[in-house]
Structure 1
């Protein structure tokens, strides 16, 4: 178990870092701190590293575009995060980049968890494509707030309605229209349940550092990494909070 956990805010999102810290304090024997945005602490060289980590083709494992204009965009996005969006980054490359910028406390006794306003992905060797992720565990752990809405697949009815609309009109329907029309358990951008839904991902980061196990196989447990939106709602927002094994550790 780490002695200290530091959570970094993502001020352009609705995720409440202070509320997440309070929830963690009730469940782990560690000092939990909150700091301002980690991306606000990095130097100019990180802009080029982010440019190099860009996913440019969903079916190509090679990443990066370090042309001057792209690097300049990343510099602006780092200094003004409201400009960022619509880009997926290699989560492992971003993690390696930010590891060097964790402020002076890089031992495994001090876990750093960065809430990010960026979409992150990992390459899937099994199917030859990139997959968006909510969390990339490790040091630091990266938790993508937009990934919470975008990475897990939505209910089947969502995609059926999208295909039907496209067939009838020739255009993709606005996301907001689909979200309003489709009933089901799924999270949308700036969802008021965002903070509650992220709690298990932060605890999973602590558990991974402590035990070496990444996530839980029990679909009812907050430490489960669901791949579909209804599964996220079930694991993070429904009872029971934990499976028996993790309830004994954390509840």
Structure 2
């Protein structure tokens, strides 16, 4: 049984971890607290190398890792100055193992759930199609919740990709988000979206739900515990009422 949930800040993002913790505390029978960035609170000497080993080098290559000295130096700088990190995809399972190893022994048990909100893009390998997929979360201990994953993992409207490609052909670079928001129909989250905090709440709850019940996600669209694969489904599940399906409303409605 989970007795305590510790959420970790992601200071380089717009996510309000205190607000997420308050939302969670109102719904579960466990103590909820907030700590500073996980990679500052829990640190091991080999963490930069572990991140380098977890780098995804190709969308279609199961192997990971680039442990050349320059890459490890980059990861060291990213640990110290997270605002400089970006554009790298990491194997979420390898990162989870690295962060688990950084936990103190007395906090590694499943009665204390650690939920680092991270500013890194994480992914998992898809055996079914032989490529990497970006993820919002990797459940377990600790449970990783990726802010970039919230924006990048779910599929956006088809028109979004067409407009992005058209703009790139004309100008040679990616269009500003304002252009995409104005020219593409449909609702989707973008980097630094003011709805980020609300949208992350359900994923943090899913981390608790998984350790408490063994159930990974809900299969009912519109439930906060639904694992959305498109932005349309994500927004319906995380930002619209009712918050939960009838089964999970009995557990988690205030």
Paired position in structure 2 for 1:111: 113
Normalising by structure 1, report the TM-score: 0.96
How many angstroms apart in 2 are the aligned matches of 1:84 and 1:170? 25
How many angstroms apart in 1 are the aligned matches of 2:19 and 2:61? 38
Aligned length: 250
8 Å CA contact retained: 1:136, 1:143: yes
Paired position in structure 2 for 1:26: 26
Paired position in structure 1 for 2:160: 158
SS at match of 2:107: coil
8 Å CA contact retained: 1:102, 1:112: no
Paired position in structure 1 for 2:214: 212
- CA 1:170/1:81 → structure 2, altered by over 3 Å: closer, same or farther? closer
Normalising by structure 2, report the TM-score: 0.95
SS at match of 2:32: strand
8 Å CA contact retained: 1:44, 1:75: no
Shift of residue 182 of structure 1?
Answer: 1.5
Shift of residue 179 of structure 1?
Answer: 3.0
How many angstroms apart in 2 are the aligned matches of 1:152 and 1:234? 13
How many angstroms apart in 2 are the aligned matches of 1:118 and 1:212? 26
How many angstroms apart in 2 are the aligned matches of 1:170 and 1:61? 33
How many angstroms apart in 1 are the aligned matches of 2:166 and 2:67? 39
Matches within 5 A, 1:131-210: 131-166=133-168, 169=170, 171-176=172-177, 177-210=179-212
8 Å CA contact retained: 2:164, 2:175: no
8 Å CA contact retained: 1:5, 1:113: yes
Matches within 5 A, 1:10-25: 10-25=10-25
Paired position in structure 2 for 1:89: 90
User: 1:172-208 CA deviation, whole Å, 9 max, x = no partner?
Assistant: 5424222332131100000000000000000000110
- CA 1:11/1:2 → structure 2, altered by over 3 Å: closer, same or farther? same
Shift of residue 156 of structure 1?
Answer: 1.4
8 Å CA contact retained: 2:62, 2:131: yes
How many angstroms apart in 2 are the aligned matches of 1:117 and 1:166? 26
8 Å CA contact retained: 2:53, 2:64: yes
Shift of residue 131 of structure 1?
Answer: 0.2
Misfit runs of 4+, over 6 Å? none
Shift of residue 163 of structure 1?
Answer: 3.7
User: 1:218-248 CA deviation, whole Å, 9 max, x = no partner?
Assistant: 1110000101011110000011100011000
Q: CA RMSD in A?
A: 1.3
Greater shift, 121-130 or 42-51, is seen at 42-51
Shift of residue 3 of structure 1?
Answer: 0.4
Shift of residue 101 of structure 1?
Answer: 1.2
Unaligned runs of 5+ in 2: none
